[in-house]
A = this chain, B = another copy of it.
């Protein structure tokens, strides 16, 4: 696996639909919104952004996946609490529960080296991480990165190394909100 290829999601249970995998979504742009249901920034910004992307863009081009990466207060953010949360907040995209690891930090969160929640990831059609942002995301900047990734061709069976280049058209004035 090339260094830039996004690690697969390791999920113990899926809510809001059938199991998802990055492998099966290859060819689409994938937004992975990692959150905890009792994280204020997730509730105010991360989840609403993910829901808007899910409702706005064609599902042929963009797949939105939530990932419940609980790394604290595990006892009160279990599966049943999450299900109520998703219903009350009218979240309709599929949400996976990041697999407990025995440590506080669950499995996928560790694979990606996430700092905390909310963290928003964009994975391009070829399966490479092209946007990784901890904290609030600017909608204009995020939209521009998403649009660029949508515009890229889906990979052939042999993706070239150059397809994992970071998104570069944003200038020096742009917030430091994306990284490969």
Contact = CB atoms under 8 A, between A and B. Distances in A.
Interface of A: 38-40, 43-44, 49, 52-53, 55-61, 73, 75-76, 78, 80-81, 84-85, 88-89, 138-152, 169-175
Contacts of A89: 40
Given A88-B39, A148-B147, A169-B151, A140 B141 contact: no
Nearest to A143: B143
Nearest to A168: B58
B169 A61 contact: yes
Contact of A84 (B73, B85, B148, B151): B73
Nearest to A36: B88
Q: Which 6 A-B pairs have the closest CB atoms?
A: A143-B143, A58-B171, A147-B147, A144-B147, A76-B81, A151-B151
Contact of A139 (B55, B139, B145, B174): B139
A59 B91 CA distance: 38
A69 to B, nearest CB: 15
Given A75-B80, A76-B81, A58 B145 contact: no
A96 to B, nearest CB: 19
A90 to B, nearest CB: 8
